[in-house]
Structure 1
Amino acid sequence: MPSSRIHITDIEAAINHWRARFPSPDGFTLAPQTRALARVYALMVFGHEDEIDEADFPLEALAAWQGWYETTPDTPCIAICSTSQGDDQCKGCGRSFDEVQHWLAYTPAEKRSVWRRITLEHSAWRFNRYAERAAEGPSTVGQPAVAES
């Protein structure tokens, strides 16, 4: 089972998400979501921690983090699943057989933990051979090309 700890890089991404959505009007004032996450981030930096348990998140910060999380892709799947062919580790997305099987039961923090691992490993096809499938935005797989005039 993956960790239910949230990595500081996800907190940074969430802070940047909220800063972009609600920029400071005066250079000092922060949106409530940014402020809540910034408090957690500052305490982690002060304590030299790079992860925090999901259960230890203050409610306002957890809500802000989950608001950011909802804007991220849920699954690393690129529709090339080698675990269905008997592999212990999927060549397409990098998840283990158990992670693929239990994905829907994972919490957001557990899913992000898996995302972090496969991103750091950078060996799954989603990062090289089929990176275009994993690109954000609407899928163009199977759609005819449109000629520009």
Structure 2
Amino acid sequence: MDTIHITDLEAAINHWRARKPSVDSALAPEVAALAEVYALMAFFHEDEADALRMPAAARAAWLAWYATTPDAPCIAICSTSQGDAVCKGCGRTEHEVQDWTAMSPYAKRAAWRRITREGTAWRFNRYADRVRNGP
């Protein structure tokens, strides 16, 4: 199931709030659409929403935000090609590295959340400056 984590929903809301600040206390359509989903998640104490069951406007706003995020966590140091099950450079599994281009935006964000939460990949320590400057 393709899901959107609440932290990504918050990031998308903040993205749209910065791009389209409210005028006369009226929310931008993207913010309003995402806020409705966010409110329901908060009410029901859920941390993920089914992307395919979201209103089309909310899903479109999230996907537009997603398009502004970095695609792959790769830092051009791939240890899966050397037989590691998890890449030391970016933190993705061998399966994720191989299938990245075919993965849905939702699956990619789930992988990003996992590797960021773990924080063990070289992109977060020894090569953090390489990430900032690009591979």
Unaligned 5+ residue runs, structure 1?
142-149
TM-score, structure 2 as length reference: 0.96
Find the aligned partners of 1:57 and 1:119 in 2 and give their Cα distance: 25
- Which 10-residue stretch deviates more, 95-104 or 3-12? 3-12
2:123 aligned with 1:130, yes or no?
Answer: no
Q: Which has the larger radius of gyration?
A: 1
Deviation digits for residues 108-141 of structure 1 (CA, Å, limit 9, x no counterpart)? 0010000000000000000111011222xx63x6
Find the aligned partners of 2:68 and 2:46 in 1 and give their Cα distance: 25
- 1:95 aligns with 92
Find the aligned partners of 1:7 and 1:63 in 2 and give their Cα distance: 15
Unaligned 5+ residue runs, structure 2?
none
Aligned amino acid, residue 90 of structure 1: C
2:107 aligned with 1:110, yes or no?
Answer: yes
2:19 aligned with 1:29, yes or no?
Answer: no
- On the 8 A contact 1:4/1:113 being kept in 2, the answer is no
Find the aligned partners of 1:113 and 1:22 in 2 and give their Cα distance: 27
Whose helix proportion is higher, 1 or 2?
2
Aligned amino acid, residue 34 of structure 1: V
2:54 aligned with 1:57, yes or no?
Answer: yes
- 2:64 aligns with 67
Shift >6 Å, 4+ stretches: none
Find the aligned partners of 1:6 and 1:104 in 2 and give their Cα distance: 19
- On the 8 A contact 1:90/1:97 being kept in 2, the answer is yes
TM-score, structure 1 as length reference: 0.87
Find the aligned partners of 2:129 and 2:61 in 1 and give their Cα distance: 30
Find the aligned partners of 2:97 and 2:110 in 1 and give their Cα distance: 14
- 1:41 aligns with 38
Deviation digits for residues 24-55 of structure 1 (CA, Å, limit 9, x no counterpart)? 122x2000000000000000000000001221
